[in-house]
Structure 1
Amino acid sequence: MIKKEIILHSKHNQRPFSADFRFMANGQSKPVILFIHGFKGFKDAMHFNAMADQIAEAGFVYVKMNLSHNGVTPDYPLDFVDLEAFANNNFTIELDDIEVMIDHISNDMLAIAKKEVDTSAIYLIGHSRGGAVAVLKACEDSRVRRLVTWAAVPDLEAFWSDSFVETWKEKGVQYIKNARTMQEMPMNYQIVEDFENNSARFTIGSQLTKFKIPFLAIHGTEDETVPVESLLMFKSFYPDVIRKKIEGGGHTFGGKHPWTETVLPEHSEQLVKETISFLKAH
């Protein structure tokens, strides 16, 4: 398998961010999958590389990217060393980062032989909050031809209670504890202002009314972070969505960080199988 790491730059302060791609060189043209990580996530977290290998082996060019303000850096790709960037992240930045990556793919800048890749067939996969952002990008960018979400958030604003937002506005910052690293991760109030200033663009329900491409939403029935009932919301927003439940699956489908196992957990195997099946069938 061919693997390569690349560095791109955000439209916001030209901040560098890492991405990587992998594929099996066989002389056959392959669609491109772009994976978007979630909140407090990064492209090399947990078992994302192992799942990337398995999906790439099924006949895809698999691209993973770090969102530019997720708190990791190209020099420290596995640690949240830049909490200032994390604090200043917002949905406009994330959508713009994905656009930079899609532009890079569409303009044949991955430097993959043309016989190996079909850059007109770009598919998005997003996990958790990354799933929500992937939905929004797929709704506004016609270059995206397929969409798969894993344990996706169906409503970005629903994460914030009124009391939480009131305190946030007063203080200017809220802190979210990272249970793995024990870091108190800051979020500046500007993300709320960004949402309010772009509410039409960021409201998933209204955006999905103009959606026209195949969409698969997968969720574990025992998701401890985003309830499986989110599948019902996606169905109400977009009746043609294909919904798949993974019985007993949690929010990460058995993944943990660091990942030291040699095989994927059962729920992740199911996740990968359902994803490949959908993308090949549609």
Structure 2
Amino acid sequence: MQIDKNFVLHRTNKKPILLDTFYSEKISNQPIIIFCHGYKGFKDWGAWNLMAKSIAEAGICVIKFNFSHNGGTMENPIDFPDLEAFGNNNYSLELDDLNDVINWVTKTFEDNPFVDRNNLVLIGHSRGGGITILKSSKDERIKKLITLASVCDFAKRTSTIGNLEEWKEHGVKYVLNGRTKQKMPHYYQFYEDFKANKKLLDIEAAEKQLQVPHLIIHGNNDTSVSIDEAYTLHKWNPNSQLEIIEAADHVFNVKHPWEKNFLSIELQKVVDLVIAFTLR
């Protein structure tokens, strides 16, 4: 197994992106999965490394990365040492980050015999699910899409972060991170960017326009993103494959840190579905 952690993708006039790659050196032409973390997430959260390794062992290259404004740094990619960057994040930046990662993947693996750069699959968790739906509806390089506990509506979440008048007046709203106890800022630019790009950030329109297979996975004990959002995505795209994981919460019954060397039963079911769908 070839595992490369914390490669820095430098970009002109943009914050760098940190990436991990996992793939077998015994199998040729492996499809590539690019994994996008969610809100208050990061590539090394919980059991994501173990999940990536498990998928890679089945003959699929896995790329994980931190969104450039997720609050991590190159030196400390875990948790949120850079709250200023977190506060300046928005959906448009995340779509741009994902595009640059896809560009990097297709260039980096151009002559790699083990990996098929023309067989790209996106996986997005939670808010990252919404980002991957938007990207997959527009980018012909994406061949399949998988969403885990995905949101189905950015508008609702953007407008309910707080009182809009107060948010505009003060320029910032804070959300408490229950795990780290940090007061995490959201600058008003987040709302302004959404309003300016509302049509481009319409998940419903993107889902209805999808031309690639979409696997929707959701836990029926998810208290962060309602299972109704999975049913809504499936309703918008009846050709999608909907899989409900019984007794699974928003992160499929793992946590951070995850110190076990095996996945939860629920996340293992996710991995099995991902492998079967990707290799089909």
TM-score normalised by structure 2 residue count: 0.96
Q: Which amino acid aligns with 2:115?
A: V
Counterparts of 1:27 and 1:275 in 2: how far apart (Å)?
Answer: 18
Structure 2 residue 65 is the aligned partner of structure 1 residue 65: yes
Counterparts of 2:172 and 2:76 in 1: how far apart (Å)?
Answer: 25
Q: State the Cα distance separating 1:79 from its structure 2 match.
A: 2.7
Which residue is equivalent to 2:31? Answer: 31
Deviation string for 1:222-254 (max 9, x for gaps)? 001001111121022212111000011000001
Within 5 A, what are the aligned runs for 1:43-58?
A: 43-58=43-58
Which residue is equivalent to 1:135? Answer: 133
Q: Which amino acid aligns with 1:270?
A: K
Which residue is equivalent to 2:9? Answer: 8
Distance verdict in 2 for CA 1:162–1:104, change over 3 Å: closer
Q: Which amino acid aligns with 2:117?
A: T
Q: State the Cα distance separating 1:124 from its structure 2 match.
A: 0.2
Contact 1:10 / 1:96 at 8 angstroms: preserved in 2? no
Deviation string for 1:67-123 (max 9, x for gaps)? 00000011001131111100000111100000000001112x258x52101000110
Q: State the Cα distance separating 1:9 from its structure 2 match.
A: 3.1
**Which SS does the other structure have where 1:45 is aligned?**
coil
Which residue is equivalent to 2:75? Answer: 75
Counterparts of 2:160 and 2:194 in 1: how far apart (Å)?
Answer: 14
Q: Which amino acid aligns with 1:256?
A: K
**Which SS does the other structure have where 2:130 is aligned?**
helix
Within 5 A, what are the aligned runs for 1:135-214?
A: 135-159=133-157, 160-161=159-160, 164-214=163-213
**Which SS does the other structure have where 2:163 is aligned?**
helix
Q: Which amino acid aligns with 1:129?
A: R
Q: Which amino acid aligns with 2:8?
A: I
Deviation string for 1:183-236 (max 9, x for gaps)? 000010101111111111001111223210000010000001001111121022
Match of 2:117 among 113, 116, 119: 119
Distance verdict in 2 for CA 1:16–1:55, change over 3 Å: same
Q: Identical aligned pairs, as a percentage?
A: 38
Q: Which amino acid aligns with 1:122?
A: L
Q: State the Cα distance separating 1:155 from its structure 2 match.
A: 0.5
Deviation string for 1:43-68 (max 9, x for gaps)? 00100000000000111110001000
Counterparts of 2:120 and 2:79 in 1: how far apart (Å)?
Answer: 29
Counterparts of 1:237 and 1:8 in 2: how far apart (Å)?
Answer: 35
* Shift >6 Å, 4+ stretches: none
Counterparts of 1:93 and 1:156 in 2: how far apart (Å)?
Answer: 14
Number of equivalent positions: 278
**Which SS does the other structure have where 2:75 is aligned?**
coil
Q: State the Cα distance separating 1:17 from its structure 2 match.
A: 1.8
Q: Which amino acid aligns with 2:272?
A: K
Q: State the Cα distance separating 1:162 from its structure 2 match.
A: 8.4
Q: Which amino acid aligns with 2:209?
A: K
Counterparts of 1:251 and 1:167 in 2: how far apart (Å)?
Answer: 30
Consecutive unaligned residues in structure 1, runs of 5 or more: none
Counterparts of 2:161 and 2:30 in 1: how far apart (Å)?
Answer: 46
Consecutive unaligned residues in structure 2, runs of 5 or more: none
Q: Which amino acid aligns with 1:272?
A: V
Which residue is equivalent to 1:251? Answer: 250
Contact 2:42 / 2:70 at 8 angstroms: preserved in 1? yes
Counterparts of 1:210 and 1:40 in 2: how far apart (Å)?
Answer: 28
